[in-house]
Amino acid sequence: MKRREFISLLGGVAVAPSLFWPRAARAQQFGGMRRIGVLWAGRERDPQYELFGAAFLQGLRDAGWSDGVNARIEQRWGAGDPARLRAHAAELVKSAPDAILATSTAALAALLFETRTIPVIFVNVSDPVAGGFVASLAQPGANATGFTNFEYAISGKWLELLKEVAPGVVRAALIQNLDNPNWPRYVRASEAIAPSLRLAVTRIGVLDLDELERVVNAFAQEPNCGVIVLPSPFTLTNRESIVALTARHGLPTVYPHRFFALSGGLISYGSDANDLFRRVASYVDRILRGTKPADLPVQQPTKYELVINLKAAKALRLDVPPTLLARADEVIE
């Protein structure tokens, strides 16, 4: 979707009027104008976040909600800055919307620090039970529920893919942002399976791109190295820089989302994030209609994507096994 089209969606003008009831009728049906907060972990105008936003808005429209007609959407952007994210969480809670969408683990943590009464619906959160955000997946138990994106065990799958596409790799670096609370659990899951794959795991936890470049430069001096990029707002926001960095050092790398492969990365495997943003709108809808978050079980991904970039493989002088290509959902020539 082009940026101009997305802006039109935000303004609620890209939808044919015939698809909606008149403004007054809809406001009466849903009890007046409803307010929805959205706390984004990334940067405004990032093309991938625009796609996430477009998917969420489409889901809302499918449920009967249109920004500026019977709902008002208030967005805040953390831009990868934890302090800024916390400040925006406080602003959104103070404005007392009917519901707030948290788009990452860090955003969810910031919002739940500020409120235990306003419904918070989350997406792109790994293991909310282990994080202490919900009591259980089946019975969240408080004011938060939503959609997870990964289980920590998927890091074992990433290591398997790395070994399959680059059998000579014996050391794998796990790249993650230290501000993200999920990364230690991904690391533990990786370390548990690494010996069976004859891999040694190196932790690369950083706070910014400069630090990441220094650490990767040092890591790449050793032979037979590969990289796993763990999911976080930091790695998503800086995906092009990370892809360029690993390519420059000739490091076979597995990424957690399709858009990394589209940005030139070798291989990606993960949940369909756009699908999750569409689906989470259904929970916002149900809460706006009166359902309590505690009564909505946390849902998990139903769509996963394996994407292989053959151009990147050629640059790394890797022959992708035909069996791996046959399993791919998308192959980029």
Q: Mind listing the pLDDT tens digit for each residue in 94-113?
A: 999 999 999 999 999 999 99
Please give the average per-residue pLDDT across 11-20, as a whole number. Answer: 31
Co-location of 103 and 235 in the same domain: no
Residue 230 is given by DSSP the state P
- CA–CA–CA angle 289, 290, 296 (5° rounding): 100
Co-location of 161 and 208 in the same domain: yes
How many separate domains does the chain show?
Answer: 2
Co-location of 173 and 76 in the same domain: no
pLDDT tens for 193-235 read 999 999 999 999 899 999 999 999 999 999 999 999 999 888 9
Pairing relation of β-strands 253-255 and 267-271? parallel
Co-location of 104 and 144 in the same domain: yes
Q: Domain span at residue 79?
A: 3-150+273-303
Q: Which two tokens stand for residue 2?
A: 């082009």
Co-location of 122 and 75 in the same domain: yes
pLDDT of residue 182: 82
Q: Which of 9-18, 146-155, 229-238, 288-297 has the lowest mean pLDDT?
A: 9-18
Co-location of 160 and 29 in the same domain: no
Report residue 31's pLDDT band, with 50, 70 and 90 as the boundaries: low
Q: Which two tokens stand for residue 151?
A: 């289980």
Please give the average per-residue pLDDT across 169-181, as a whole number. Answer: 91
Please give the average per-residue pLDDT across 12-28, as a whole number. Answer: 33
Q: Which two tokens stand for residue 196?
A: 């069976």
Co-location of 141 and 215 in the same domain: no
DSSP string, 61-125: HHTT--BTTTEEEEEEE-TT-HHHHHHHHHHHHHT--SEEEE-SHHHHHHHHHH-SSS-EEEEEE
CA 145/CA 42 separation, integer angstroms: 21
pLDDT tens for 251-307 read 999 999 999 999 999 999 999 999 999 999 999 999 999 999 999 999 999 899 999
Co-location of 193 and 324 in the same domain: yes
CA 159/CA 254 separation, integer angstroms: 8
Co-location of 230 and 262 in the same domain: yes
Residue 206 is given by DSSP the state E
Co-location of 139 and 186 in the same domain: no
CATH code of the domain in which 55 resides: 3.40.50.2300
How far from the centroid of its chain's Cα atoms is residue 202's Cα?
A: 23
Co-location of 8 and 123 in the same domain: yes
Give the 3-state secondary structure of residue 324: helix
Co-location of 278 and 222 in the same domain: no
